[in-house]
Every structure is written in structure tokens, then in C-alpha cells.
Amino acid sequence: MTPLRLAWANLAHKRSRTAVAAGGVAFAVVLIFMELGLLGGVGRTATMLFDRLNFDLFITSAEYMDLSRTEQFPRARLAQARAVAAVEDAVPLSYAGGGWRAPTRTGPFGTTPGGSVLSVSMIAVPPGQTERAFLLGPDGAFATADEAGAAGEALARLDAFLLDRLSKPEFGTVAQLVAASQGDTGDPVRLNDMRATVAGSFRLGTGFSWNGMLLSSEETFARFTGRPADRVDFGLVQLRDGADVLAAQRELRAVLPPDVRVHTREELNAEERRYWLRLTSIGQFLVVAVVLAVAVGVIFVYQMMAADIRNMLPEYATVKALGYRPAYLTRVVLCQAGLLAVLGYAPGFVAALGLYAVARNFGGIPTEMTVDVAAGVLVLTLGMCLASGLLAVRKVHAADPADLF
């Protein structure tokens, strides 16, 4: 009999114990999937804003750290950038945080009164350049250029904002806030203790970086934040057709003073992911959680396999008495561990798909099941179970045929 057939016979012989062991593996698989999903969500939310912006090169202050510490630079740097031959335009973008008055909400568990102050993020662009500042299409901030143009016209009105329609529910729905802005309700829209107007929506998304986002014109932004008009946070540099990105980057770095930095999209995204995954407590915690999930799985599977081997020592001793070598028994145990890995991975994968959907639709965390994640967890599961098998195989080698007599 081959080691694989004997291993399967062992699992089929005691189906209840096999089901418990496979359930333990599935639990560990779900833990690993969720930690990796959250870790991937951190990486995706780190670049979510930049992924919706239209630029070839990105200008920041030399003191820029992350979105919570952007620092401003003189608007004149954008005029200097436009003077470079390869540059078609440089669109200013401002970013800040604010205090948003939560509206009254009615949900399945009753009415939640408004009035509490929520932290909200704000971005601002010139109203006439809305369609140039953002990417358009199904994955963009606006579906079409016409929608972006209409948004720009709405933002041209003083004190008008667009709300990200993917913001958390506690910020209110777009329809509710538009009605409140028009005076149809007694629940006013307030931002930084000032009366504001919600004129429509755009699409961005939420995650670990922010729970809600507003878009406004630069004039409105300055009124609500007190930011001087001659300072901006970012510059969206768009190059002429056919221009070499790296050559333009080198030229801009040579032309612009050292108080700003020029990034390619790849450099910017890599820096943001590095900050969130390696330098924040969220990223570090999730990495440790993945390691702990694997360790828990190894311990659980080892205990189950050790108990199973202990109960079947007479059978293993019989196999040894029939002349099978220790290497054969090792292969049997490893095959059994591999089969447990497959039996536990399948339900764990299905459960993770459902949990990813819940986290994405109700938690606002962009978890995504990718081929890399699915294959990586499968490899981890196999490694976890095989490691448990190697730890448990010593008990098989200790089986003495003399104990049968």
C-alpha cells in the first residue's frame, strides 16, 4: 500500500476526529486569510487617494511624511514646474482635516441623534480643473468628464462641498445632506463650526487612513481651514504626450528648489505602503498576527496528529513488524498532514471569501481575494501541517513491534 493510501485510510477510519482536525486547520486558515486581507487593505488604502488622481509626476513638500503630515509649499513652485518644456500642466491640490457635525440618522436599531463631531478629511482643487485633477471612468473619482465638469460647476459656489459617497454611514447619506443644505430639514450641515453645503458626491473610498472625505474649491477650502491661498500641499504634474517620465523628473528636480520633492507614481505608492506597513502600529500588528495565526495552526494540528498517532501506535507497530522502514512511516504521516491541509483549506477559503465581503461592504476595508493571497495561504497551510507532521512523526518511530506480544 502506498503511503498516500494508508494516510487516507487513517483519516477515513476515524471521521469525527478527522473532521475536528480539519476544522482546526480551517480556523487557522481563516485567521491567516483575514490578517493577510487586512494587511492588503492597509496597503490599498495607503494609496487610495493617489490612485484616483491624474498625474505623471507628483510634487510634495520636502518635509512630507504621510497624509497626516503633508506640510505645504509655495504655489509658485507649480508655476516653475509649468515652465519645463515636458510639462503640460501642474494642478494644485490641498489636503487637510476638519470636524464634521454628524447628522441625525435613522437605522434598524432606532434613531441616532446628531451633533457629535467626527474627523473628516478634505481635499481641494480649482473648480475649473476638476476633470484634469482626477482619473475618470469606472475606477475613477468621476465616471465621465461631463460628471467631473458638473462637479466643478457645483464647487464654484462658495461653501459648497462634495461628499465621498463611500464615506462611513455616520457622516450621513448624500441625499440627506443635500436636503439639509437646501433647508428641507432642521439638521444643518456644519464643518469646523461653520455652515456648509453638500452639493453632490464623488467616489473615493475609506479605509485605515480616513472614514470620510470632502471635496471643495480652493476658496471654500481656505475659508474653512484658514489656509493661506499661496500655499498648497501637492502638485499634480501632467506631462505632454510622448514625454519621458524619468527625464522630466530629473529636469524638475534640477529646476525646483530643495523645499519640494518630485515623485513618480511608483515611488509615491511605494513610500506610502512602506510607511503604513512597516512604520505604523497597524501594519506591524497585522504582520505579527499572521505569524501568530500560523503558530496557533501548527500547535493545534500537532496536538491532533500526536493524539491520533498515539491511539494508532499498535497499527504503526504492526506496519513496522511487516518490514516497512521508518522512511515509509514518515511519508505516511506527512501525507496525512498534507491531506489535512487540503481538507482544512477548502472550507477556510470559502469562509474567508464571505468575511472579505463583509469587511469590504460593511467595514469599508478594501479586502480583496487575489491569486497571490490564495496561493500564499495554501502554501502556508501546507507548511504548517507538514511542520506539525514532522514534529509528530517521532512518536511513530517510537512504536515498538515487541509491544504487540
Mind giving me the DSSP string for 175-208? HHHHHHHTTSSS---EETTEE-EEEEEE----SS
Q: Which pLDDT score, from 0 to 100, does residue 326 have? A: 77
* Residue whose entry in the numeric block shows the C-alpha cell 504626450: 241
**368: Cβ–Cβ under 8 A, 6 or more apart, which residues?**
37, 40, 41, 44, 356, 360
For residues 32 and 253, give the distance between their C-alpha atoms in angstroms, rounded to a whole number: 43
- Confidence band of 347 (pLDDT split at 50, 70, 90): very high
- Confidence band of 36 (pLDDT split at 50, 70, 90): confident
DSSP designation for 163: E
**25: Cβ–Cβ under 8 A, 6 or more apart, which residues?**
297, 300, 301, 340, 341, 343, 344, 345, 348, 381, 384, 385
For residues 297 and 281, give the distance between their C-alpha atoms in angstroms, rounded to a whole number: 24
Q: Which residues of 329-351 are buried (b: 16+ CB within 10 A; e: fewer)?
A: bbbbbbbbbbbbbebbbebbbeb
Say if residue 362 is exposed, middle or buried (CB neighbours under 10 Å; 0-12, 13-18, 19+). exposed
Q: Checking DSSP bridges between strand 160-164 and strand 117-124, what pairing results, if any? A: unpaired
For residues 19 and 12, give the distance between their C-alpha atoms in angstroms, rounded to a whole number: 10
Give per-residue pLDDT as tens, 91-125.
Answer: 999 999 999 998 887 766 667 777 889 999 999 99
Q: Are 46 and 276 spatial neighbours (Cβ–Cβ below 8 Å)?
A: yes
**Ranges assigned E (strand) in 1-86:** 57-61, 73-74
- Confidence band of 364 (pLDDT split at 50, 70, 90): confident
Nearest Cα to Cα of residue 206 among 71, 6, 382, 360: 360
For residues 316 and 401, give the distance between their C-alpha atoms in angstroms, rounded to a whole number: 8
Nearest-Å Rg of the Cα atoms of the chain is: 29
Mean pLDDT for all residues in the chain: 87
Q: Which pLDDT score, from 0 to 100, does residue 99 have? A: 95
Q: CA 383, 379, 304: angle at the middle one, nearest 5?
A: 40
- Bigger pLDDT: 234 vs 301: 234
Helix (H) or strand (E) holding 348: helix 326-361
Give per-residue pLDDT as tens, 212-240.
Answer: 999 999 999 999 999 998 999 999 999 99
Q: Which pLDDT score, from 0 to 100, does residue 400 have? A: 65
Compute CA distances 328 → 6, 316, 320, 389, 393, whole Å.
10, 11, 9, 14, 11
Give per-residue pLDDT as tens, 71-85.
Answer: 899 999 999 999 999
DSSP designation for 104: P
What is the reported pTM?
Answer: 0.78
Residue range 300-308: mean pLDDT, rounded = 76
For residues 214 and 221, give the distance between their C-alpha atoms in angstroms, rounded to a whole number: 10
Nearest Cα to Cα of residue 120 among 163, 158, 70: 163
Q: Which pLDDT score, from 0 to 100, does residue 337 have? A: 86
For residues 234 and 69, give the distance between their C-alpha atoms in angstroms, rounded to a whole number: 12
> Is 2 in a helix, a strand, or coil?
coil
Q: Which three cell numbers stand for residue 121?
A: 478629511
Q: What are the residues facing 215 on neighbouring strands?
A: 123, 162
Nearest Cα to Cα of residue 86 among 209, 305, 241, 200: 241
In this prediction, what percent of the chain has a pLDDT beyond 90?
Answer: 45
> Is 210 in a helix, a strand, or coil?
coil
> Is 261 in a helix, a strand, or coil?
strand
